[in-house]
Amino acid sequence: MSTITVLAIILLAAMILAGGVKGIYAYLGLILNFIFVFATGHLISIGLSAFWVTIVNSIIILLITIYFSNDQGQHADISFIGSIIVVLIVIALIIPILHWAQVQGFSNENNDDLEGMSLLIGIKFLNISTSMIILSCLGAVAEASVAISTGLTEIIEHNSKISNQHLIDSGLHIGKEIVGTAFNTLFFGLYGEILALLIWFERLHYSFASIINNKIFVSELIMTLISAIGVILTIPVIIGIILHRRKKEVL
C-alpha cells in the first residue's frame, strides 16, 4: 500500500469522525475537485483555450466545493453567486497584473531541471499563469463566502426584523474574523511553498533586491496576494447579495 493511499484513508476516517455523512460528501467533493483540476491541465495541454477551460472548470469546482460540503439552501446559493462574482473581479485584476509583472514561465533557478527539455509546447505561459492563479484562489474565496453567508443567514433566521445597518455591521464583523485567519493560512502556505527557495537564496547570498525581483518569488507572492484580495472582496459582495435579496422579498 502506497503512502498516498494510507494518507487518503486516514483523511477519509478523520472526515467521517468529524463530519459524519457530511464528511463523506466533502471527501467525495475533494476527489471530484482533484479530477477537474487534473482535467483542466489536460484540456489546456491538448490545445483548448486556457482561459475558457479554466473559467468553466472553476465554476464546476465552486459548485462541488460549496454544495458538497454544506447543506443546500439559501446560504449555499448566496455563497455560489458571490464566489462567481468575486472570481470574475479577480480575473479582471489578474490579467493586467500578470501582463505588467511578466513573471510567467521559468526563471534561472529552473535551468538545471529544464536542461535537455524543450520549452516549445505551443502554449503561452501567460495563459498558464493566469489559470494557476484563478484555480489557487477558488478555495479561499469559497471558504470565505460560505462562512459569511451562513452567519448572516442564521442571523436573519433568528431575527427577521434586524435592520440592514445591523446586518452590515454583523457581516463586517464576521468578515474581519475570517480575514485574519485567511491571511495566516495564505501566508504560511506561501512560506511552506517557497521555503526551499528561500534557503537557496540565503546559501547563494542573493541580495534583497534580487530576491524581491526573482520571478519564482514574485509569482508565488502575486498568487497569495490575489487570493487575499479575493477573500476581502467576498465580504462586501456577499453582504450586498443578501441585502439585495431582502429588498426583493420586501417588495
- What tens digit of pLDDT does each residue of 135-151 get? 888 888 888 888 888 88
Percent of the chain whose pLDDT exceeds 70? 86
Across 41-45, 53-57, 116-120, 186-190, least confident range: 116-120
Classified as helix, coil or strand, 94 is helix
Give pLDDT, residue 40. 85
Q: Are the C-beta atoms of 170 and 155 separated by less than 8 Å?
A: yes
* 162 φ, ψ (degrees, to nearest 5): -60, 140
Give pLDDT, residue 103. 61
Give the global pTM. Answer: 0.79
Give CA–CA dist 36/59, Å, rounded: 11
Give CA–CA dist 180/175, Å, rounded: 9
**CA pseudo-torsion sign 46, 51, 54, 56:** negative
> What mean pLDDT is predicted for residues 92-101?
77
Percent of the chain whose pLDDT exceeds 90? 2
> What mean pLDDT is predicted for residues 7-21?
85
The CB density around residue 119, as the number of other CB atoms within 10 Å, is 8
Confidence bin at 114 (pLDDT 50/70/90): very low
In single-letter form, the type of residue at position 84 comes to I
Per the document, the length of the chain is 251
Using alpha carbons only, give the angle 180, 62, 39 rounded to the nearest 5 degrees.
120
Domain chopping of the chain, boundaries:
49-250
Across 26-40, 111-125, 226-240, least confident range: 111-125
